[in-house]
Amino acid sequence: AQSVAQPEDQVNVAEGNPLTVKCTYSVSGNPYLFWYVQYPNRGLQFLLKYITGDNLVKGSYGFEAEFNKSQTSFHLKKPSALVSDSALYFCAVRGLRGSARQLTFGSGTQLTVLP
Amino acid sequence: SQTIHQWPATLVQPVGSPLSLECTVEGTSNPNLYWYRQAAGRGLQLLFYSVGIGQISSEVPQNLSASRPQDRQFILSSKKLLLSDSGFYLCAWSGETGELFFGEGSRLTVL
C-alpha cells in the first residue's frame, strides 16, 4: 500500500526567510509526486509535480521541490517566503503506472509566514 | 483552458433533508471526475470517481450517491442527510497528464 507522511502539522517562518515543507512517501515502483496548496475555504490548487528527470522541480508562485529517491522524500521549498504563502499544503503520491484515483494525500501542513 | 465549477458554495441543511451538489467541467472532453470530502481535520477522502457517462465507482460505503448524466457534469446526492455528512466537498477532474484539478468546493453543514 502506498502512503504519504507530512511530519509537521504546522510550520512557521519569517517573511523573507527560506521555507521547507517536508514530505516522505512509500509506493511500489517509481513514484508520481505532487504538491497542492489550499487557501481557507477554497479548493486545492496544483503547485508542481515530479514524474522523471531532474530531481529539482520548479512550480507555481516560486515554489520548487526536491525529489530524493534514496530518502523517499519530496520536500517543498521556496527561497524567500511571503505572507501570502500562508496556507495548507498537501503532498500526494501514486505509482507511475497507477491512475489519478489512486492518488494518496498526506494530512497537510499548515504554513504560516510571519510578517 | 479548462475550468471546473461547483455549486452551491455553501449549504446548510437539516438532518433528513435531501442533497444535491453539482460540478461541471469546461474546456475538456471525457474527463475523469472525482468527488472528495475533506473533514475538519484536513484529510481528503475519495468518495466517488467516474470515467464516463453513467459510470460511477464508489470508494467507501456511505449515505451518499453520485451520478454523471452528461460528459462534463458530476452530481453528488443524498436522499436523507446525516449529521456526519457535514464537511467540505471537492469535485476534481483529471486528464491525460494525470494530475487532479479541483473546484472551489462546497461546504455542507447538516444541523
Domains (range + CATH), chain B: 3-110 (2.60.40.10)
**Which of B12-21, B29-38, B61-70 has the largest mean confidence?**
B12-21
Find which of B99, B102, B106, B107 to mutate to test the A interface (most A CBs within 10 Å of its CB).
Answer: B99
Count how many residues are written for chain A.
115
Asked whether B76 and B48 are in contact (CB, 8 A), the reply is yes
A14-41: average pLDDT: 95
Find which of A103, A110, A111 to mutate to test the B interface (most B CBs within 10 Å of its CB).
Answer: A103
B100 closest CB neighbour out of A41, A88, A103: A103
C-alpha cell at B9: 458554495
pLDDT at A59 over 80: yes
pLDDT of residue B41: 66
pLDDT of residue B42: 79
Strand intervals (E) in chain B: 3-7, 10-13, 19-26, 32-38, 44-52, 55-58, 65-70, 73-78, 87-94, 100-102, 106-110
Grid cell 433533508 — which residue?
B17
Task: Choose between A101 and B63: higher pLDDT.
Answer: B63
A16-35: average pLDDT: 95
Domain membership of residue A88 as a residue range: 3-114
The CATH number that applies at residue A32 is 2.60.40.10
**How much of chain B, in percent, has pLDDT values that exceed 70?**
99
B99 closest CB neighbour out of A42, A49, A108: A49
C-alpha cell at A39: 487557501
**At A80, is the pLDDT very low, low, confident or very high (cuts 50, 70, 90)?**
very high
pLDDT of residue A20: 98
User: How many domains are there within chain A?
Assistant: 1
Q: Are residues A107 and B43, on separate chains, in Cβ contact within 8 Å?
A: yes
pLDDT at A33 over 90: yes
Per the DSSP assignment, residues forming a β-bridge with A49 are A34
